[in-house]
Copies of this chain bind each other. A is one copy, B any other.
Amino acid sequence: MKHRSAIAATGHKFRTKNISKRVQKIVISPIKEMSILADLFQEKTGADIISFGQGIPYFDTPSLIKKGIKKALEQLDTAKYTLEPGITELRELITKDLGKRKRIENIEAKKEIMINTGCQETVACALASTIDEGNEVLLFSPSFASHIEQTIQFGGVPKFVPLIEESGWRINFQKLKSQTSKKTKVILFSNPSNPTGSVFTEKEVRQLADFAKKYDLIIITDETYDFLLYDDVKHFSPASLPDVRDRVILCSSFSKRYALTGYRVGFAFADQGIIDHMLKVHDALTICAPAISQKAAISALKSDQSSVEEFVRKLSFNRELMCQKLDELKDFFEYQKPMGAYYILVKYKFPKINSFDLALKILYEARVITIPGGAFGPTGNGHLRFSFACSPQEIEEGFKRLFKWATTFPIP
């Protein structure tokens, strides 16, 4: 346990009496554990803390979307549960958006799209609908921390497929094959990747699709960061391949694209036969996505998209800034430059310290939140995840602190 939880690493003891074995095996994703620990530290000491932790855009929801929310407040139906699969207009807008941006054709909005309470819940519904106790789930290592916890929560066994760091976190298809067995039901990944910032090529995605077909697997693809790409790299979705469309569950969110992380609204696109079942889980988990958030998403998709372009420009700037800062600290850190999303999974050169202890040390000593790489699977050990979604000023200040702190840390 110690190596998967920052809270456990602080020495916190967990109750075991009357607690399910299943939940004893999971942890709060260390992405949020670090925020919780920082909040407690702040309360205790009054320290001001810079966060390179949880990936939250520093800018506000665009004013056009807020205008839509205010208008929604005047409508009686905003107070009320929506239809469980989501507001029909939103499902139709998503259908159009997927057609336009991913060239996915002939989607039946009312049968193949469902709205969730954030993409986290979308993935939860997808896993619950496709795995039983003891089934195996292929996860890349590093993998999004919550994908690991969700897999275990629903009774699955994570089978890690190490990515090749040196070539920019690429897929090792031989390892993929060797980790696959008769118990394997699902391959689950985020692309662009959280936490590595890598973007799988069309060739890689096509190979994954062929692989899934050959071994009769469901592909769960989390495409939350599909709009956030750098240096002209292209995103390619397996859901656009007719050949595997009935085995792909595309999960996505409005959180990052429209600065709506607080609103909890995401969606799934999948074969009707799969959506039928995901809706049952959705009902058992949250009934429906928040009405006001669905209306925010409607407003977002109907608005002029220049705010998205502006976000990408701002985050591109931050990417360059953080890479430059990391270069200045090359005695302590090395990294693969991210091609999408807003994370860098940094390899550290501090010896003999695991990533959980290091992240806690940096929080308490430098007052900077970073995420222990061990949270993202075995290949994440020896790394810290940095988010550059914070403001440029925070990047400047955070690295000032890190520089001061690192130069006092004994390097052999």
Contact = CB atoms under 8 A, between A and B. Distances in A.
Nearest to A275: B15
B35 A262 contact: no
Kindly report how many copies of this chain are found in the complex they form together: 2
23 contacts: A14-B273, A15-B271, A18-B216, A18-B274, A19-B277, A22-B128, A22-B155, A23-B281, A28-B279, A32-B84, A36-B85, A56-B80, A59-B79, A79-B260, A79-B261, A117-B121, A118-B286, A146-B284, A150-B284, A155-B155, A286-B286, A292-B292, A292-B293
A247 B18 contact: yes
A226 interface: no
A60 interface: yes
Contacts of A271: 15
Interface size, A (range): 35 or more
B28 A280 contact: yes
Contacts of A120: 283-287
Given A15-B272, A18-B130, A150-B284, 19 more contacts: A15-B274, A18-B247, A20-B129, A22-B128, A22-B132, A22-B155, A23-B280, A28-B283, A77-B262, A118-B286, A120-B286, A124-B284, A133-B155, A155-B155, A262-B290, A263-B290, A263-B291, A264-B264, A292-B292
A44 to B, nearest CB: 12
A84 B146 contact: no
Interface centre among A82, A262, A279, A289 (most CB of B within 10 A): A262
Interface centre among A57, A129, A260, A264 (most CB of B within 10 A): A264
Given A15-B276, A286-B264, A83 B22 contact: no
A139 interface: no
B149 A283 contact: yes
A355 B21 CA distance: 38
A19 B129 contact: yes
Interface of A: 12, 14-15, 17-24, 26-29, 32, 35-36, 39, 54, 56-57, 59-61, 66, 69-70, 73, 76-85, 117-118, 120-121, 124, 128-133, 135, 146, 149-150, 153, 155, 185, 216, 218, 247, 259-264, 271-274, 276-277, 279-281, 283-293
Given A73-B69, A85-B36, A277-B19, A79 B61 contact: yes
